Structures are given as structure tokens and as C-alpha cells.
Amino acid sequence: MGERGFIVGSQLHTSLQQALLGWYYQHKRNLPWRGETEAYRILLSEVLLQQTRVEQAIPYYHRFLAVFPSLAALAQAELEAVLRVWQGAGYYARARHLHRLAQTVSELPSTYSALLELPGLGPYTAAAVASIAFGEPVAAVDGNVRRMLSRWMAWEAPSPKQLQAKADELLAPEAPGDWNQAMMELGATVCLPQTPRCERCPVAWFCRGKAEPGRYPTPKKRVQTPVEAVALVWVGPDGLYLERREGRLLGGLWGVPVEEGAGALERLLQRLGLERAERVGTVQHAFTHRKLRVQVYRVPGNGLGDAGNRPLSRLDRKILELAQADLLPCG
């Protein structure tokens, strides 16, 4: 009986693999990194897609490769130059990790275990690169795959270990790269978070949760801590005053002076040796776990500031746009 069950299970998995891969080959989107065999380009695309939608990632992919066409070119660059090219893509730790990775190895290793040792590469990215670039049979589990597997198995709160085990079990070993991309493609275009298109799904017959897809998995609650801050725009004798950012979120970028909490404006004025500033408005900006409400001030009598070639975060561009707009003539 056990042997019979195994055979039936194997046939079911084969049917699933054939159906999904057949759909993928026919319906996959024409993306610039599809069909790539160079590991560096595959890595770049996967790093961009970690926190960026496909349509936003495409121009950054082209832009980054135009300046840093190889791992060696990236290794030779200054971090500030890398961040300048990455500017606007957000989640700048990705760019810092890529740069550090390039300075760590002259070429990408070909195995999942070795890739996992590199800076900034977690299990998903290492599995994606290992399978797509090198054909290693290892399943890549991202948010899309987590959602799909949870629906297929009717799991409300599966553990990462449970998901990885199921993904490994279902993997098409003869085409691991195509399989992983097919899974991600189905999750991105059909098995959507809010309005899944079950009628278009080539493997709906395999899905135990299709009657209530919104139930699987249980949505994670994202809590954003509200933070009050003050920013000061000052054009001094040497031009727009900027400071190099520190920390995990914006480290390596430049921006206007910012302080958080009570007495922030007074601390800024004291730190910069200034006497007063005028308020020009408020900017709001959300990070993954923090929601900033920034009161923007400008030193009176200043003209428009120029950030030059300094890499700025989206938050700082918002601040500068507000401060500059306040100085522009009306009409």
C-alpha cells in the first residue's frame, strides 16, 4: 500500500510539474533577465525583485548594468557611486550588500551552500541563483511561493521549514530554474494576494484552498511605529549642507540634517551653529516598520540648494522638493 501511495503521489507531482511548466513556457512575461545565463545578472535581478515590483525593477536593472556590467566593475567602484546609481530603488542595504559581495569574491560560486555564505544573500536569493544560473535542484521560496503553497495545501500559518520542505518535494529536478521562475510567475500574475485569478490557474485542480483563497495564509499584521522628526534645509557659504547618513536603512547616503523626538529643532540649530529657522511644511514617509512625520524647516534668506551628485534617499528628495517649492515664485 505504501508503494502504491508513493507511485500515485509521484504521478500527481509529475502532472503538477508538467501543467505549471507548460503554462510558464506559454505565458511567461518577456523580462530582460529571462533567459540569462550569467550569474551576476541573475543575482542583480533577484536582489532588485526582493523589495521592488517588476515594472519598477526593469529600468534599475538596465541602469545598474550600464554602469557596472560585471562583478569586477562593481568591486572596483566606490560605495557612493553604487548608491547613486541605486538612488530611488529604495532598501539601500541591498546595494551595500551587493557592493560588499563583489569585493568578497571574484566570481559567484555555483552551489546554494556557498552562495548562502555571501553578504546579503538569504535562502531565497541563494536558491534562485543556484537553480537559475547553475541548475542546482533547490527550491526558492519567496512571498509569492509562500502564498501559493499555503493555498495549495490549505495551510493557514505554515512554518518556514514546512514551506521549504513542501517546495523541495514539488520541485521539478530536471528544470529547477524554470520551475522556480514558473512558481514566482504564477504568484505574481495569477495567484494574487487580494484577487486571485483562479479561473486562469493551470493547476487549480491541485489547490485545496481555492474555495477560500483569502484564508490562506493568514495575513501578517505589519505594525509601523509613528516617529516625529525635524529636518533642517540650510544653504551655507559652501552650498547645500548635507550629512552622510548612518544606520541600516539609509547608511552611505547623504541627506539634510534630521533629528527625532522632543527638542529636535533646538538640537539641530545648536549642532549647526544657527540661530533660527522657519517652518515650510510637513513630509510623511513610510519605511517597513517606521512611519516618519517630518517637520521641515529652512534657514531664512537661503536660495535654492543643489545636492550635486550626492546619492539621496527618497525621503530627502521629498524634503528638498518641499523646501525648494516654497521659494519658487507663484504664477
pLDDT in tens, 28-71: 999 999 988 899 999 999 999 988 899 999 999 999 999 999 99
The CATH fold assigned to 225-325 is Nucleoside Triphosphate Pyrophosphohydrolase (3.90.79)
Q: Are 196 and 213 in contact (CB under 8 A)?
A: yes
Report whether CATH 1.10.340.30 matches the domain 2-215.
Answer: yes
Lowest mean pLDDT among 42-56, 129-143, 148-162, 299-313: 299-313
Distance of alpha carbon 180 from alpha carbon 184, whole angstroms: 6
Residue 307: HSE in the Cβ half-sphere, 13 Å Cα cutoff: 22
How much is the pTM?
0.83
For the chain, give the percent of residues with pLDDT over 70. Answer: 93
Q: Give pLDDT, residue 111.
A: 98
Please report the beta strands in 223-315, taking only residues with DSSP state E, as ranges in sequence order.
Answer: 225-233, 235-236, 239-240, 243-244, 254-255, 258-260, 278-286, 290-298
Residue 156 bears catalytic tag: no
Q: Is there a contact between 293 and 282 (Cβ–Cβ < 8 Å)?
A: yes
Of 3, 46, 107, 321, which residue is the catalytic one? 46
In this prediction, what percent of the chain has a pLDDT beyond 90? 73
Instruction: Please list the residues that pair with 243 across neighbouring strands.
Output: 255
| Distance (Å, whole) CA 183 – CA 185 | 5
User: What residues does each domain of the chain span?
Assistant: 2-215, 225-325
Q: How far is the CA of 268 from the CAs of 264, 281, 288, in angstroms?
A: 6, 17, 26
What are the pLDDT digits (tens) for 203-262?
999 999 999 999 999 987 778 889 999 999 988 777 889 999 887 778 888 999 999 999
> Nine-digit cell at 191?
495567484
Q: Is 166 left (phi over 0), alpha (psi -120 to 50) or beta?
A: alpha
**DSSP string covering 142-174, please?**
-HHHHHHHHHHHT-SS--HHHHHHHHHHH--TT
Taking the C-alpha atoms of residue 325 and residue 123, their distance in angstroms, rounded to an integer, is 45
- 4 pLDDT above the threshold of 50: no
Which are the contacts of 152, defined by CB distance < 8 A and separation ≥ 6?
Answer: 203, 206, 207, 208, 209
What's the confidence (pLDDT) of residue 221?
A: 79
